[in-house]
Amino acid sequence: MRWPPISSAWSNTSRSRCEITAGGRETVYIALGSNLGDRTEHLRTAVADLAGLPGSAVIAASRIEETPPLGGLDQPRYLNQMVLLETSMEPRELLRACQLIERKAGRVRAERWGSRPLDLDIVRYGRRQVCEPDLVIPHPQLPHRDFWLREIAELQPYES
């Protein structure tokens, strides 16, 4: 698939998407979603938690946008956001860390695509492709989620 143009705000830097950066770090897109509780606070805390992961830094973030729930379930609207993380964590290690951050936000896994205080999806991990029962990268929903593509196009440099 073709990627949307990189945001001009950080295309001037030496970084480009999906490259392996200095120190063996990779650039990773992580999608955040929340439709239960204090949605803004869940996203804010999650970005801070991602920034605090070992060997990791949040480089860019999109604005937060409200989206109608996908999946045909009767549930509240979502707040969604995309972040670009630079990390030396391996994909599976990063998945485990994301699941811990979800749990900290009070996430209990119930029905698929059900309401949740926090959902973290690894959308892309460098150029890596992973196809395992519990981890698929790039995320299979990427081509179907307009708001993810829009948020990737709108990434702005992140300052904590």
The residue within the footprint of ligand A4P, chosen from 74, 134, 146, 159 (CB under 6 A), is 134
> In the complex, what is the shortest distance from the CB of residue 38 to ligand A4P, in angstroms, rounded to a whole number?
16
The residue within the footprint of ligand A4P, chosen from 24, 112, 159, 160 (CB under 6 A), is 112
67 binds ligand A4P (CB under 6 A): yes
* Catalytic residue check, 121: yes
> In the complex, what is the shortest distance from the CB of residue 116 to ligand A4P, in angstroms, rounded to a whole number?
7
Q: Which of 63, 121, 124, 134 is catalytic?
A: 121
* Catalytic residue check, 119: yes
* Catalytic residue check, 15: no
17, with CB counted inside 10 A (0-12, 13-18, 19+), is middle
- Dihedral angle at the C-alpha atoms of 44, 24, 145, 142, nearest 10 degrees? -150
3 binds ligand A4P (CB under 6 A): no
Which positions ≥6 away from 123 have C-beta within 8 Å? 29, 30, 31, 82, 137, 138, 139, 142, 148, 152
